[in-house]
Chains A and B, each alone.
Chain A
């Protein structure tokens, strides 16, 4: 007997019938996948080819290969996904795959790679040997990518990862352009006329305003800004993303997130390590360029920005830029009073001896490069005028920690002073980015007993203790973002340039010897005493995170 009972939920069916007819869908837009609805994994990369320029280097081995493998394990990579390694070295495809596999086996949070899974993934990994200055290499690459589009169904979507020193960016992007590889979709001269083209560039984004502008201009000659993804792995960390949720997803915090309630803000990016073999790079760079330009100013911008109109890349970046534009660049005199630079001398960190910075290999014996910076910045906006933002970062500090600490204003009336209670510590809200990602609130509580004694206590939230899911590595998040086309966590050209506009006067004053002396501090201490004095002058003190 044929029965006709609906298997599909009848109520849902009824709801569907009641729903007004949508306007007919654009023919080119396929219907959404009905099986996706309600699945845990919401983000899935589109089929694409990722071309790693400089694929035999450190970054590909340490970061990219493990990140891609972990994305594969979590199911975020589509079956069509293909990798093409592009580099000078004369390698076979086999040897290149072995290079990536080695990276996974050494650095992945899921290691070692499972042979069956890896073998299957490796079938989509190719090596393209070529010199970055040879036009023929790019023409060959273009043919290869067309072939991959046909054979593996990557639909003309291409992600170029420039894992090379920034000096090579202009050359590479120009050759990509000449080979017809920079354009996307309809604008392509040959091969498939469908699909997107995106390019990921690594920091540093220049070494001052001038070089950053040059770099941006050179990228802009070839790519539209929305094709460019400037990666700073700090921004891929969960807490950074959660900062926006914490502020704009909760009704409690936003009303007090301003000059009326906040006394000051401290941003600390502390590292315990020294230069770790990157002496030559670091000596030419220093802490201000290495950390403040990217992470510290970005953390500050996300912390201080106004709510975006929508949670989309352009809106977010507009708001961040507004914060940076409200930071007034310093005069030489202000550089003296509002900045402290330091360099570590030998000392003990976490039970191990760290040699003096100047004794590190490839560092000039009389180097003036700062390994520590403390800054006092102001954001001249309606919301933040008068609230000092203290930033500090350094190497050879006692513990590895990145945090933003908000110090709130004191209660308006010292109500308990008459009962003999001294000043109560101000409330502090600390947002820890690493390690132990979490949020902590300090407030005063009465010590039980007949007398009136007040002690500061902590209310502590940790990610590790509340969520069962392992946080993905920052590169996993960011690579997937780039494949999905979400640029929220990447830096836009105007943000980069504005950051340099803030920092250039400091660098210039230091270079001209007008920015105050270089202070020395023992490795394993929280920087030179001058950094403490910077806050003491304002009647404040650094937190000991």
Chain B
């Protein structure tokens, strides 16, 4: 059983229209008073050790979404996070320009059994719909509601409004911003803006997190010293990624908070940017400019010229944007070798073909992580991730080059 599946609403939902920050903060504070009654199951709301249900004090999470429907999807993903992360999650639905009550609030407490049973761990979820002028001053509303001394993560599903002062305010307030570059409407601008954000301890990217297993498998090829010697002589990197069939919409219960994938190239570019920065490849010239999601670039490696080829494949077996295949080939003086990861629906074939050696071939698990798992993994990171930031800048350079005319 996963955490989160045994989730239960521990206190009745508190709903207030046209309320104030003080009232919300007051209600949040009262949640942890020892109640006198029994909970739904007839258990006293105090454990035998004299504690109310244990409260996890780990972090504040602020999520900003476009509308109420998106807020519901976020709440769903947060439940998937289960007991692990947010001590307090604040979901903001800003409606600038809308008339009506200024702040509507919805507060609930979610509790989960801890592993091994016994005590329960709870976190609070606050959904705020903010209208009118107040929506332009979100940080002022959120700040008094944060739990002190805990890191504050800002999760911005969808396309972040990089030019909106409200976005700046919130990013400034948080310790870390989490975006999903696959959701950027303008990928190049998004990459560049994300790379140049002012922030305290960094940016996380769910699309980067989706690559974690691909990176691990790629690194494993070269853990063995006998294969590491091929690295400087790599001469080709081919990446295939998934795009959804046109005119069909993929339906998935655990689907992205922002449905659809505006930028299916994001993961492939980040992956290519990662390899390029790790191996010190430089841009050389454009062989075939970007058209229909495919392009060819020539890069300059340490010993060889490297051809980078990206192309989409229409499929609905895996979510759009996910990598389908990576092939790294070497033709240098060390001889021909090819390192292959080919993904099927939920596993992958990993093969090493190096000349003079028996091909090593194996199947490894390759499941599509749930969005909550990605978020969860990103929330564990406290510090800046320099490898991501370098890969992000490289991805922007690769994308910009692909838009140039062939040289």
Interface residue ranges, A against B (CB under 8 Å): 1-9, 12, 30-31, 33-41, 44, 47, 72-73, 75, 78-80, 114, 116-117, 119-121, 123, 151-153, 155, 435-436, 457-458, 460, 462, 464-469
Complex-state Cα separation, A531 to B91, whole angstroms: 54
B394 within 8 A of A: yes
Query: Is B114 touching A120 in the complex (CB atoms < 8 A)?
Result: no
Determine if A39 and B360 form an interchain contact, defined as CB atoms under 8 angstroms apart: no
A435 cross-chain contacts in B, Cβ below 8 A = 115-116, 118
- Measured CB to CB, the nearest residue on chain B to A12 is B390
Partner of B224, one of A80, A114, A119, A465: A80
In the complex, besides A78-B223, A121-B362, A460-B51, 13 extra interface pairs with C-beta distance below 8 angstroms are A1-B407, A3-B285, A8-B281, A8-B282, A8-B390, A33-B222, A36-B223, A117-B347, A436-B119, A458-B49, A464-B121, A465-B54, A467-B380
> Contact between B393 and A9 (Cβ–Cβ < 8 Å)?
yes
Are the C-beta atoms of A466 and B56 separated by less than 8 Å? yes
Residues of B within 8 A of A47 (CB): 224
Contacts A/B (CB < 8 Å), 25 sampled = A2-B285, A3-B285, A6-B282, A7-B281, A7-B282, A7-B394, A8-B280, A9-B389, A9-B390, A9-B393, A12-B390, A33-B222, A34-B231, A35-B222, A39-B215, A39-B216, A75-B217, A79-B360, A114-B347, A155-B224, A435-B116, A465-B54, A465-B83, A466-B56, A467-B380
Q: Is the CB of A7 within 8 A of B115?
A: no
Query: Among A30, A155, A460, which residue has the most Cβ atoms of chain B within 10 A?
Result: A460
Nearest A residue to B276 via CB reads A7
Q: How far is B81's CA from A111's CA once the two chains are assembled, in angstroms?
A: 22
B398 touches A462 (CB 8 A): no
CA distance A135 to B379 in the complex (A): 56
The residues of B that contact A1 with a CB separation of less than 8 Å are: 285, 407
A520 to B387: give the CA distance in the assembly, Å.
62
Q: Which residues of chain B (308-359) have a CB below 8 Å from chain A?
A: 346-347, 350, 352, 357-358
A458 touches B379 (CB 8 A): no
Residues of B close to A33: CB separation below 8 A: 219, 222-223, 228
Residue of B nearest to A35 (CB): B219
A487 to B361, CA, bound (A): 31
Chain A residues with CB under 8 Å of B119's CB are: 436, 462
A31 contacts which chain B residues (CB < 8 A)? 228
Interface contact B393-A117, CB-CB below 8 Å: no
Minimum CB–CB distance from B368 to chain A (whole Å) comes to 15
B397 within 8 A of A: yes
B376 interface contact, C-beta 8 A: yes
- Kindly report which residue of chain A lies nearest to residue B281, judged by CB atoms: A7
Q: A5, B282: Cβ atoms under 8 Å?
A: yes
Q: A2-B407, A4-B284, A7-B398 are in contact. Are A468 and B376 (CB under 8 A)?
A: yes
A75 and B380 contacting across the interface, CB-CB below 8 Å:
no
- CB pair A436 B118 closer than 8 Å: yes
Query: Could you tell me the distance in whole angstroms from the C-beta of A31 to the nearest C-beta in chain B?
Result: 7
Task: Considering the complex, give the chain B residue whose CB is closest to the CB of A435.
Answer: B116
Residues from chain B with a CB closer than 8 A to the CB of A39 are: 212, 215-216, 219
Given contact pairs A44-B220, A457-B50, A468 touches B380 in the complex (Cβ within 8 A): yes
Partner of B84, one of A9, A75, A436, A467: A467
* Min CB gap B155→A, angstroms: 15
Chain B proximity of A538: nearest CB distance (Å): 25
Q: Of A2, A41, A114, A155, which is within 8 A of B365 by CB? A: A114
Q: Given the complex, which residues of A lie within 8 Å of B285, measured CB to CB? A: 1-3
B118: chain A residues at CB < 8 Å are: 435-436
Contact with A7, one of B116, B283, B357, B379 (Cβ below 8 angstroms): B283
Distance between Cα atoms of A402 and B136 in the complex (Å): 53
Check: B377 CB closer than 8 A to any chain A CB. yes
Q: When the two chains form their complex, are residues A7 and B407 in contact, meaning their CB atoms are under 8 A apart?
A: no
CA distance A466 to B224 in the complex (A): 35
A540 and B220 alpha carbons, distance in the complex (Å): 55
